[in-house]
Amino acid sequence: MNISRSVFVVFLLFPAVPSAYAQPSCDSYHDSLKALAVWCENQGLAAEAKTTRAAVKPDSPDHLFLPALPLEAGLLSDDDSLREKGSEAISEYPSGNALPVPGDDHEDGRHHDWHRRFSRIRRTYAEQCFAEARRLAGEKKGGKAVEYLLECVRANPDHLGARTVFGFQRYEGTWRTAWEIGQLKKKRIDHPRFGWIPAAHVKRYEKGERFLQDPDRRKGEWISSEEEERRRFDIRNGWVLVSEHYELRTNVGLEEGVKMLRRLEDIHRAWSLLFFRYLGTEGQFAKMFLNLKPGVPSQSGNPKKHSVYVYRDKEDYVRNLQEIDPNIGNTIGFYLPSKKRCYFYPPDPAKMSALDVRNIDNTLLHEATHQLFQESRGIVGMPGESGNFWIFEGIAMYMETLRRSGDYYVLGECGNGLEEQDAARAGVTADTSGRLYAARYRYHEGFYVPMAILVRMNTRLFQEFRGYPRPGSDPLAETQKLYSQSAGFTHFLMHAEGGRFREAVIAYLCLFYNGEAVFDTLSKLTGVSYPELDRMYDVYIRQGF
């Protein structure tokens, strides 16, 4: 998704925002939903009450909830026959979109009365959010505009304007991207085990056969899955699996490769929602609300592919990559900017501790984030060469907190990746430990580099750090402390005071990757001096996460 290349559509369907309109109020919206839930309970509609309460976004200052947009269309239609009767996802944050199916006891119309009221509340709020997004975009406040677009599509997943901005079109009862529609028109399906394959191949694949295409693409042959695995043993002849945004080469196995590809697409979806404003300039973002043609796709059906290699296991990973780095055995995955490629191997729960499995997943999230920031827009040189390197690692560590729960991508949770011994010393268990808790622990131990100093550090100074204010003897240990502080400070900027600085962070990242961030960039964007940011962080970190 690249705003500079996108053709933005459908907003001509909406009138210009009037000078006076209903300002969106999240509190009023949630109050309306809660009142409807009480009505449902009084009417004996237990399932409807549960669904209504689930539509209220969870309230947690330390978590960021991004809408995981449903595939189904028509969920909020006034006509029940236009929506799928799917079951509600079971998760910590239950779905507010999977609507209950009326039973025999609802023949008196109570269910349909609830459904109409539920849909009206959500659609009205979505329209208000969309109008506010248009107004803010016109004022070149793209970061805030995106927040309202996310609120819009969370309240009404069928909102045509917001869906189109985020790259979706309505197609055969579902919301699809241009790339997905292209695949479907070619008679291909997204099989849950085998990924995008021709519909005509499904039965033979499910019987254990595989189609091996010749390099010249003129012919192919059917072989057994066992024979395919033998031929794909060397990654040079491995599977090449393609999704909308990734080309993945692997010798770990077809189904395992598809699982990895889905994981990467999930990361891309969450990243592109959170950092949508990063993909273009304020001017480009504002123009999307002006230059509109109904019915035209919002983006290319052939987006740029990010390259990823996934090796069979750690030994295969080291054997193939030791020429790139003799110390490759000390890594569990990395992104190589010169080749624009990520390299990983899958975790093996049977041979690894739960902590090691989690660390491998954290590394996938971390390195995939580096790849997305560096390849999704034109950047100047290597990021961090002239300073501000801390945000390069800080934002990647923040993305390590990503998980999917029901209708949401959840970010900001502290429970990922701290070494067991540090977790014990910090007074937390391995299951609830993480870099953010490490930041808190190390801060309480007295480690903190003032931001006026940290922003001056380029890549070399950061990675060769020997301590502040008293130089230490172990550069690696001291650099790890800088990583922890960078993670903690990023969390602070993303969450403090209800996300007060979140828009500034995205603007900071744009300037950082453009090579334009200087010493006082972060201070100017936040409107707060570095000593004051230090003081605010002190209050935040002492309160815990």
**Domain interval for residue 96:** 3-175
Asked if residue 137 belongs to a domain, the reply is: yes
Look over the chain and give the mean of its residue pLDDT values, rounded to a whole number.
85
pTM: 0.88
Domain endpoint, select from 175, 193, 227: 175
Q: In degrees, to the nearest 5, what angle opens at C-alpha 41 toward C-alphas 35 and 47?
A: 105
Burial of residue 124 (CB within 10 Å: 0-12, 13-18, 19+) is middle
Contact 308, 249 (CB under 8 A): yes
User: Which among 34, 44, 28 has a CA at the least distance from the CA of 96?
Assistant: 34
pLDDT, tens digit, 9 for 90 and up, residues 243-289 = 999 999 999 999 999 999 999 999 999 999 999 999 888 888 777 76
3-state secondary structure of 494: helix
Asked if residue 410 belongs to a domain, the reply is: yes
Q: Dihedral through CA 293, CA 294, CA 299, CA 300, nearest 10?
A: -90
pLDDT, tens digit, 9 for 90 and up, residues 98-150 = 677 665 555 568 998 999 999 999 999 999 999 999 899 888 888 889 999 99
Tokens of 201: 């191949």
Distance CA 487, CA 525 (A): 19
Domain endpoint, select from 175, 201, 232: 175
Distance CA 471, CA 476 (A): 12
Q: In what order do the strands lie in the sheet with 403-405?
A: 64-67, 408-411, 403-405
Looking at residue 159, its pLDDT comes to 92
Chain centroid to Cα 6, Å, comes to 20
Q: How big is the chain by its Cα radius of gyration, in Å? A: 25
Tokens of 308: 């990823």
**Total count of domains within the chain:** 2
pLDDT, tens digit, 9 for 90 and up, residues 13-39 = 334 444 445 678 899 999 999 999 999
Asked if residue 252 belongs to a domain, the reply is: no
CA distance readout (Å), 464 to 239, 290, 469, 472: 39, 49, 15, 11
Distance CA 258, CA 243 (A): 9
Asked if residue 535 belongs to a domain, the reply is: yes
Q: What are phi and psi of 209, to 5 degrees?
A: -95, 155
Domain endpoint, select from 175, 204, 231: 175
Q: Up-side HSE of residue 375: CA atoms within 13 Å toward CB?
A: 24
Asked if residue 439 belongs to a domain, the reply is: yes
Q: What are phi and psi of 18, to 5 degrees?
A: -70, 165
CA distance readout (Å), 13 to 9, 10, 82, 124, 290: 9, 6, 22, 16, 11
Asked if residue 66 belongs to a domain, the reply is: yes
User: Which among 123, 121, 117, 115 has a CA at the least distance from the CA of 156?
Assistant: 123
Looking at residue 471, its pLDDT comes to 61
Tokens of 462: 């950061």
Asked if residue 357 belongs to a domain, the reply is: no
Looking at residue 3, its pLDDT comes to 47
